Amino acid sequence: MKLSSVKRESLRMQFGGCCAFCGSELPVRGWHAEFIGEDFVVGGVVAACTDCRISKGNATPEAFRALLAGQVERAKRHSANFRTALRFGLVCSVKTPVRFWFERYTAEQMQVAHHS
Ligand SMILES: [Zn+2]
């Protein structure tokens, strides 16, 4: 998606300068404008980090969420390193719904607005 540099910068800052999916900080260069549709965000486009862009592919946000929900089980099945880290308590697995940063960010902003 081709955007002017001003639009690109405002898109990068839309959710506090962080990836709309995972919430990690976006570099000035090296992130992606992702069309996810107006059902999710005003304008329908969000900024995504390269890792989220690659793992999401062309999936819809809901399909991406379902993919992420199976991530720990896939890691247990396919990664001896992950199983070892689990066994020694170096990582822990939690059962929590996948919430994207753009959903958490908006909710947190609204809470801030409520308290002021
Ligand atoms: Zn990300």
**86 CA to centre of ligand 1 in angstroms:** 24
What is the structure's pLDDT at 106?
A: 74
* pLDDT over 70 percentage in the chain: 92
In this predicted structure, the answer to whether residue 105 has a pLDDT above a threshold of 60 is yes
Residue 15 in tokens: 């959710």
**31 CA to centre of ligand 1 in angstroms:** 9
The contacts found for 52-58 with CB under 8 angstroms, 24 or more apart, are 52/19, 52/21, 52/22, 56/21
**85 CA to centre of ligand 1 in angstroms:** 23
What is the structure's pLDDT at 112?
A: 66
What's the pLDDT tens digit per position in 51-75? Answer: 999 999 999 999 999 999 999 999 9
Cβ distance 86 to 69 under 8 Å?
A: no
What is the structure's pLDDT at 115?
A: 60
In this predicted structure, the answer to whether residue 113 has a pLDDT above a threshold of 60 is yes
What is the structure's pLDDT at 110?
A: 64
Give one word for 97, left, alpha or beta, with left for phi > 0 and alpha for psi -120 to 50: beta
Q: How is the chain split into domains, by residue range? A: 5-115
Angle at 102 (CA atoms; ends 111, 70), nearest 5 degrees: 120
What's the pLDDT tens digit per position in 35-53? Answer: 999 999 989 999 999 999 9
Cα separations (Å) of 1 from 77, 82, 106, 108?
A: 36, 36, 24, 29
Choose among 76, 32, 38: nearest CA to 55. Answer: 32
In this predicted structure, the answer to whether residue 116 has a pLDDT above a threshold of 60 is no
